[in-house]
Homo-oligomer: A and B are copies of this chain.
Amino acid sequence: MKSYQEAVQFHGHSCPGLAMGYRMTNAALDHFSSERAEDEEMVAIVENDACGTDAVQFLSGCTFGKGNLIFKDYGKMVYTFYHRASGKAVRISRKASFRAKLSDMQISSEERINLILTAPEKDIVQIEEINMPEPEYSRIFDTILCEVCGESVVKSKTRILDGKNVCIPCFKK
C-alpha cells in the first residue's frame, strides 16, 4: 500500500480532498484485494476532477494517460471502480454523517486532514457493490499527417477543409 506521504508527493501538497481520496481509493483496493493497475486491470469513473482524483490515480493506477480513468463532470465526491478480473464494481462515496460532522467543526486544514486519515473506514467511507457493464478497453488509433501543419494527428480527430485532412488547431485557424 502506498503511503499518504507518497500521494502528497504526486499531488504536490497535502489537503483534505487528497486525504479523502486516499481513504476512498484504499477502501476500493481493499474491497477487491487488488494491487495497483499496471495496465487496465481496473477502471475508475470519477465524478469530479478535484484533488482526491490524484489519490485515485496514484493509488489505483487508473490514470489520465492510460485510458482507465473516466471523467464524469458531475461535481460529486464519488468514485466507481470496476475490477475486470472479478467483473465487480464498487461505488465509493463519503459518508454523509462524516461530511456533516467535518463541516461543522472549526478546525484547521491540518487537523481536518488528520481526522480524515485516522478515522475508522466505516465511519467515513460508503461502499456499495453495484452492477455495471464492463467498460471498454482504451483503443489505439491510426495517425496521419495534417495536410496544413504537417504534424501527426489521430485520424479520427481530423476535420476536412477544402478537401484536405487537417488537425483541429489548423481547422480553427
Residue positions of A touching B, CB distance < 8 A: 10-13, 17-18, 21, 36-39, 47-58, 61, 63-67, 69, 71-78, 93-94, 96, 99, 141, 143, 150-158, 167-169
Beta-carbon contact of A152 and B10 below 8 Å: no
Could you say how many copies of this chain the assembly holds?
2
User: Which residues of chain B are near A141, meaning CB under 8 Å?
Assistant: 75
Contact flag A157-B65 (CB < 8 Å), given A13-B38, A151-B93? no
Q: Is the CB of A152 within 8 A of B99?
A: yes
Please judge, given known A-B contacts A52-B65, A63-B54, A151-B96, whether A74 and B38 are in contact too, CB under 8 Å.
no
Q: How far is the CB of A73 from chain B (nearest CB, A)?
A: 7
Q: Does the CB pair A64–B57 fall under 8 Å?
A: yes
Whether A51 pairs with B66 at a CB distance below 8 angstroms is yes
Contacts of A51 in B (CB 8 A): 65-66
Instruction: Report chain B residues within 8 Å CB of A58.
Output: 10
What 11 new A-B contacts, CB under 8 Å, besides A12-B63, A94-B152? A11-B63, A50-B67, A57-B63, A57-B64, A72-B168, A75-B153, A76-B167, A76-B169, A93-B151, A96-B151, A99-B152
Contacts of A64 in B (CB 8 A): 49, 53-54, 57, 64, 69, 71
Contact present for A167 and B13 (CB under 8 Å): no
A81 to chain B, nearest CB (A): 15
Q: B75 and A167: CB pair below 8 A?
A: yes
Residues of B within 8 A of A38 (CB): 12-13
Top 4 A-B pairs ranked by shortest CB distance?
A75-B154, A75-B157, A54-B65, A53-B65
Cα–Cα distance between A74 and B158 once the two chains are bound (Å): 8
